[in-house]
């Protein structure tokens, strides 16, 4: 069984462009300033704009959680906050977790931040934590994310029909997973 200490004492992860810092109250100002724009919310299914109190509460909960790992995605060269990434829904008996990423706004799309953050967190989950399986859900119209996840090694496993409602239209959600080679 996996030791939950991996989620209490998670490290800062680094990539060529990014620093993934354990998410917490110290990110309040930058998270507030970089609230997701409409396009980012549409791609992640976030229907409600968050209040200052919502952000403060979420950051506090992230800092004390012992069953998930949350990171702020920060650009290395200037410290700009560009989003958040997490491993959540820890299942210790099946050594699995769910992956989630949200870039703060469409201005940072296409710069490789999502790719680098995803690779770093998936590697941490599989190689350091020794998860057997990481799953995710992606809406069918987010083809950019689907290509990225496939390149990293996620495989489609199922389809949730009409599971995503946005702007009066239903869309399907694709279930994907990557499994450890250990």
CA–CA gap between residue 119 and residue 106 (Å, rounded): 20
90: left (phi over 0), alpha (psi -120 to 50) or beta: beta
Within 45-166, where are the H helices? 52-64, 113-123, 143-152
**pLDDT tens for residues 73-117?**
999 999 888 899 999 999 989 999 999 998 887 677 788 899 999
Name the domain count of the chain. 1
The enclosing H or E element of 69 equals strand 69-75
Residue 100, pLDDT score: 95
Give the DSSP H/E element, type plus range, for residue 39.
helix 38-44
Give the largest CA-CA distance in the chain: 44
* Structural domain boundaries enclosing 83: 5-179
pTM value is 0.89
Q: What's the confidence (pLDDT) of residue 41? A: 72
Residue 33's pLDDT is what? 67
Residues of the chain with confidence (pLDDT) below 70: 32-37, 106
Predicted pLDDT of residue 10: 86
> In DSSP terms, which residues pair with 103 in a beta bridge?
83
Residue 34's pLDDT is 65
We report the CATH number of the domain holding residue 47 as 3.40.630.30
């Amino acid at each position: 069984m996996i030791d939950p200490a991996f989620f209490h004492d998670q490290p800062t992860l680094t990539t060529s462009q990014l620093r993934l810092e354990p998410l917490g109250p110290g990110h309040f100002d930058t998270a507030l300033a970089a609230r997701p724009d409409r396009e980012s919310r549409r791609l992640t299914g976030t229907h409600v704009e968050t209040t200052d109190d919502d952000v403060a509460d979420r950051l506090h909960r992230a800092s004390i959680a012992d069953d998930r790992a949350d990171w702020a995605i920060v650009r290395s060269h200037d410290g700009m906050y560009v989003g958040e990434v997490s491993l959540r829904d820890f299942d210790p008996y099946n050594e699995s977790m769910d992956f989630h990423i949200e870039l703060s706004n469409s201005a940072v799309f296409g710069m490789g931040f999502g790719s680098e953050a995803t690779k770093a967190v998936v590697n941490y989950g599989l190689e350091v934590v020794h998860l057997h399986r990481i799953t995710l859900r992606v809406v069918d119209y987010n083809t950019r994310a689907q290509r990225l996840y496939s390149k990293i090694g996620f495989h489609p496993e199922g389809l949730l029909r009409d599971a995503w409602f946005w702007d009066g239209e239903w869309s399907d959600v694709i279930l994907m997973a990557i499994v450890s080679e250990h």
